[in-house]
């Protein structure tokens, strides 16, 4: 049922139950707030969102009260602006004003609102009330009580989303502060979301503290590759280094949240990387040029015929998978194809986390169907059906490859990669554009943010170069072009491009049969 009203004189029609704040947003009017968050309950305790209403003698909290039929609301009158100025003065009475050393400087809602509505000096004549500083709520989150404005977003998140209730408000009045309950720490699997929720610098990520000023960093829209959920993230980077992930809103995938494990997985981008092509010479690995590495790879696999195994990791993006599929059809038609991936976890929950720790198992299934896994490969190696291996992705137990001549296209060095005859460095998803398909069949684009680490190339480009050496031009020149060719050949991706996937992605035209329909669905607040 629709409700009609006016906001700042503009006629607005919204669904019944829509709050005045949300209605104002839909009409293009931003209402400042601190305690409000669309994914949490609404206590209306900060009063920053007060607006004038024709059906009320007093200002109303717009985040809490629903739109009334034929009511008129004013969000930008002089009276409302004076209310905001007074509220900010009250909030700032005991605030330490330590912006120059605060990690939140540059992305602080209190700063933004002060410059928009206040810009006055403090009239406080007495000493400020001091609270605990740099308190470790856990090994991941540090709390500064003096900066806290007691908006209770963090408390409500732990109660309503994580449902672990470690946090509460103790004391009253100006002595009120956020604290963990006795005998507890902030230790749930989503605890670091309170850092993003905090509108000031009270809750900071211990890992990121004093690492880099936010205005020095650049940001791209990316996707967490830690599990099959594919949570949307902001990838923040500076001088070629990924410094943090932050959750990016996508109501179809992860709402506003990300698990702590996924958030911290950014560190793997720069750990134990394969930096340059390597080929064995007299039984010892030797760094070589790209041309020499590709020639060595061709020499190893070109005559293997049906005894060649091509192993595709479920961590590869769709562009890489499609390029390898063209390589197989054009140059290696007799090769046996297998799939590998990270081992399953045991921590799946009803919110976001999946047991499948691979970001694109559904993509492998769409492009290749049901492939035999590494245990089948190991048996075929023992039976001498396979003597040579071309592996895209380094997640294979080295024991399974014993007795084979192996070429690894890999991002990270591990025991299996280090034992290979030829190793070619591959870029991670932080270094190039591409797409993943999550467990529910949602296709999402990620953007490369940092320059290639070492001499790494995108997997689709490596497949193309190897194809040319094997006498087959795969016709692939860019990541976007590869995806366009994929969409032209695969009905499940029909009509998709990197551009029209946008920030939120699109569902496959044909749902992946590999999706686990019995798995818990994401919780929606």
Strands of 141-252 (E only): list them: 141-143, 167-170, 177-180, 203-205, 218-223, 232-238, 241-247
25-to-28, 43, 62, 63, 200 alpha-carbon distances in Å? 5, 19, 11, 11, 22
For 288-309, give the DSSP string: --HHHHHHHHHHHHTT-GGGEE
Long-range CB pairs of 491-500, under 8 A, 24+ apart, other chains included: 492/366, 493/318, 493/366, 493/443, 496/443, 498/433, 498/435, 498/445
Q: Provide the strand spans (E) within 23-76.
A: 50-53, 60-61, 72-74
Which tens digits make up the pLDDT trace of 461-471? 999 999 999 99
* pTM of the entire predicted model: 0.91
What is the band of 511 on the pLDDT scale with cuts at 50, 70, 90? low
- For the segment 34-60, what is each residue's pLDDT rounded down to a tens digit? 999 999 999 999 999 999 999 999 999
Average pLDDT over residues 299-310: 92
Q: What is the pLDDT of residues 215-263, one digit of tens each?
A: 999 999 999 999 999 999 999 999 999 999 999 999 999 999 999 999 9
Q: What pLDDT is stored for residue 519 in this prediction?
A: 41
Q: 493 to each of 224, 320, 391, 442, 484, how far by Cα in Å?
A: 21, 15, 25, 10, 9
Cα(39)–Cα(48) distance, integer angstroms: 18
Query: Do 90 and 173 form a contact (C-beta atoms < 8 A)?
Result: no
To which H or E segment does residue 363 belong? helix 361-368
pLDDT at 518 over 50: no
Average pLDDT value for residue range 290-299: 96
* Strand duo 72-74 + 2-7: pairing: parallel
Over residues 286-294, the mean pLDDT reads: 96
Q: Are 347 and 355 in contact (CB under 8 A)?
A: yes
Find the range with the poorest average confidence among 284-288, 311-315, 424-428.
284-288
Give tens-digit pLDDT for 413-440: 999 999 999 999 999 999 999 999 999 9
Q: What is the pLDDT of residues 75-134, one digit of tens each?
A: 999 999 999 999 999 999 889 988 988 989 999 999 999 999 888 888 888 888 889 999
> Rounded to 5, what percent of the chain is helix, strand, coil?
30, 20, 50
Model confidence at 281, in pLDDT bands (50, 70, 90)?
confident
Query: Cα–Cα distances in Å, from 419 out to 113, 312, 391, 397, 513?
Result: 58, 18, 13, 11, 36
Q: What is the pLDDT of residue 501?
A: 95
> pLDDT tens digits for 16-35?
999 999 999 999 999 999 99
What's the rounded Cα separation, in Å, for the pair 281 and 492? 45
Mean pLDDT along residues 277-284: 88
pLDDT for residue 514: 47
Condensed to tens digits (0 to 9), the pLDDT of residues 149-192 reads: 999 999 999 999 999 999 999 998 888 899 999 988 999 999 99
Per-residue pLDDT, averaged over 385-410, amounts to 93
Token pair of 454 as six digits: 């070492």
- Strand, coil or helix: 267: helix
Considering 386-390, 399-403, 512-516, the range whose residues carry the highest mean pLDDT is: 386-390
Distance CA 408, CA 426 (A): 9
- Distance (Å, whole) CA 177 – CA 337: 59
Residues 6 or more apart whose CB falls under 8 angstroms from that of 284 comprise none
Instruction: Give residue for tokens 């946090």.
Output: 167
* Res 520: pLDDT: 40
Average pLDDT score, the chain: 93
pLDDT band at 272 (very low <50, low <70, confident <90, very high): very high
CA distance 344 to 358: 8
Asked whether the predicted pLDDT for residue 515 surpasses 50, the reply is: no
Contacts of 126 (CB under 8 A, 6+ apart): none
């Amino acid at each position: 049922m629709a409700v009609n009203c006016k906001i700042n004189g503009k006629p607005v029609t919204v669904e019944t139950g829509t709050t005045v704040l949300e209605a104002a947003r839909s009409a293009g009017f931003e209402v400042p707030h601190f305690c409000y968050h669309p994914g949490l309950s609404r206590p209306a305790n900060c009063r920053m969102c007060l607006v004038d209403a024709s059906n009320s003698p007093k200002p109303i909290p717009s985040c809490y009260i629903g739109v009334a039929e034929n009511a008129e609301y004013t969000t930008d009158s002089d009276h409302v602006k004076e209310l905001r100025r007074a509220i900010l003065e009250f909030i700032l009475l005991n605030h330490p004003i330590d912006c120059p050393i605060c990690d939140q400087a540059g992305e602080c809602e209190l700063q933004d609102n002060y410059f928009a509505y206040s810009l006055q000096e403090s009239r406080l004549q007495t000493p400020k009330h001091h609270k605990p500083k740099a308190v470790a709520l856990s090994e991941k989150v540090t709390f500064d009580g003096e900066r806290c404005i007691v908006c209770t977003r963090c408390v409500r998140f732990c109660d309503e989303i994580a449902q672990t209730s470690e946090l509460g408000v103790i004391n009253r009045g100006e002595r009120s502060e956020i604290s963990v309950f006795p005998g507890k720490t902030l230790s749930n699997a989503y605890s670091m979301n309170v850092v993003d929720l905090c509108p000031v610098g009270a809750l900071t990520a211990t890992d990121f503290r004093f690492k880099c000023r936010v205005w020095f960093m650049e940001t791209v829209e990316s996707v967490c590759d830690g599990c099959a959920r594919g949570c949307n993230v902001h990838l923040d980077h500076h001088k070629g280094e990924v410094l943090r992930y932050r959750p990016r809103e996508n109501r179809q995938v992860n709402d506003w949240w990300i698990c702590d494990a996924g958030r911290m997985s950014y560190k793997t981008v720069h750990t134990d990387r394969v930096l340059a092509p390597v080929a064995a010479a007299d039984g010892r690995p030797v760094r070589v040029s790209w041309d020499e590495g590709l020639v060595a790879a061709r020499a190893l696999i070109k005559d293997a015929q049906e005894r060649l195994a091509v192993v595709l990791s479920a961590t590869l993006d769709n562009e890489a998978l499609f390029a390898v599929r063209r390589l197989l059809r054009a140059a290696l038609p007799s090769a046996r194809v297998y799939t590998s991936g990270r081992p399953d976890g045991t921590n799946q929950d009803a919110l976001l986390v999946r047991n499948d720790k691979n970001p694109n198992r559904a993509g492998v299934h769409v492009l290749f169907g049901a492939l035999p896994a590494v245990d089948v490969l190991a048996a075929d190696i023992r039976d001498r059906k396979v003597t040579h291996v071309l592996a895209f992705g380094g997640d294979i137990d080295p024991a399974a490859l014993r007795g084979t001549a192996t070429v690894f296209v890999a991002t990270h060095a591990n025991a299996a990669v280090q034992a290979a005859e030829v190793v070619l460095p591959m870029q991670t998803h932080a270094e190039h554009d591409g797409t993943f398909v999550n467990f529910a069949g949602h296709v999402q684009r990620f953007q490369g943010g940092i320059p290639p680490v070492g001499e790494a190339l995108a997997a689709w480009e490596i497949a193309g170069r190897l194809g040319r050496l094997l006498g087959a031009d795969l016709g692939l020149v860019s990541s976007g072009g590869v995806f366009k060719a994929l969409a032209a050949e695969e009905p499940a991706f029909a009509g998709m491009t990197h551009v029209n996937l946008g920030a939120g992605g699109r569902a496959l035209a044909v749902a992946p049969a590999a999706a686990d329909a019995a798995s818990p669905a994401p919780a929606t607040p």
